[in-house]
Structure 1
């Protein structure tokens, strides 16, 4: 019986096989990607690959640089060949909820820009609907966060909490707050995202709809690869 860490690591080979010489790689955030980075660095060194990384968080950039991976800023690239990231939830159509680590805005910029976006997950992240096991993170401006929270609650009698860290409000790399929204099965992700994104003060939502091209999932029965239907 493999634990979650082992299941995550089991997905790495399939992802790393897609990393080729000369690529610009989008490097995601979270526990899975932090485990992946040393393996990526080892591949770069052993195969003498010339790759450049663009990172979705300051923490990821720090870890990647520490392992000798060349990192540049998003505004210094015009193309990302491959993005590899984790997810908090993955549904059967490869739609995602992301943002458990608070980096959802930068993740969406990089993952959506990539020619191919590959998601790594363990089987516990697979859900029948988005919001089944995880709250939806929404990044909002500090100035009017409470007004935004009330408008979100009013959408469908939803529960909204401001994310805290060590008894103080969590602050994103962009200097904003995160509101975590408890969802239910009746909510249409595309419609709710549209409602949220047009609220003044909302930077981005943790819905990643129609962005992922492939999900590599570690299960007790082995690694399963799901590709987006054309």
Structure 2
């Protein structure tokens, strides 16, 4: 079935990322989410056709692992390969400094562990994910330990670096982002909970917020991906595709 609108844009970005950055013999990180889905699909297509050979991939979630296995993509983990040639993943928000909010699908810890080890991290989004400042357009996920989780939630909410946020425990399905769809805490692939931080105004200092959250006892990791992005591929619903970052334009939004 032919795609249109946002789905077409996601497919364009996903396919272009693989066409531009993945070659035979590489170790490739495979992201999680509705846009990363198309990058995984493209790797599978190119392996099946013989255009790519000797590829091994590291998935960032159980959902991605299942998709990759269905496409017969060879897989390993960071235990076997600690250095990746490229990692490809989507984002929930992208600012003009190419800082990201990720974790709407609940895979932020595994995504960050994999993508920080890549020589190139390529972010793929449709143009609805572009923003002037991180915070208001999509809630910031923070993965925390279940032990005394409400204490950790209150500690996070009180941090000066995220002043003004409203902290909420994610309930229901971990993959529904900040939307509540149940009455029990959402549980990540790692057995942890997620706190979503809602902002009405942009986070003033993204690097400071990232550091403060990471240094909070009880926090496993957070969805701010800062100083990691090599390139952002942005697709529009009209079928256009632009690139920001290394080898592309300066951010235009």
TMscore range, shorter length: over 0.9
Shift of 1:16: 1.5
Match for residue 86 of structure 2 among 82, 85, 92: 82
Shift of 1:164: 0.8
1:12 counterpart = 2:14 = yes
TM-score (norm 2): 0.86
1:117-175 CA-to-partner distances (Å, cap 9, x unmatched) read 00110000000001131000000000021111112222224210000113321001110
Match for residue 123 of structure 1 among 120, 123, 127: 127
- Tell me, yes or no, if the aligned pair for 2:142 and 2:222 is still in contact at 8 Å: yes
- Tell me, yes or no, if the aligned pair for 1:152 and 1:158 is still in contact at 8 Å: no
For residues 30 and 125 of structure 2, the distance between their equivalents in structure 1, rounded to whole angstroms, comes to 15
- Tell me, yes or no, if the aligned pair for 1:25 and 1:80 is still in contact at 8 Å: yes
Give the length in aligned residue pairs: 229
Q: Any residues of structure 2 matched to 1:1-230 within 5 Å, and which?
A: 2-17=4-19, 18-46=21-49, 47-155=51-159, 156-165=163-172, 166-183=182-199, 184-219=201-236, 220=238, 222-228=240-246
Higher alpha-carbon deviation: 220-229 or 35-44: 220-229
RMSD: 1.6
Structure 2: stretches of 5+ with no match in the other structure: 173-181
Structure 1: stretches of 5+ with no match in the other structure: none
- Tell me, yes or no, if the aligned pair for 1:216 and 1:223 is still in contact at 8 Å: yes
Greater share of residues in strand? 1
Q: Which runs of 4+ in 1 moved over 4 A?
A: none
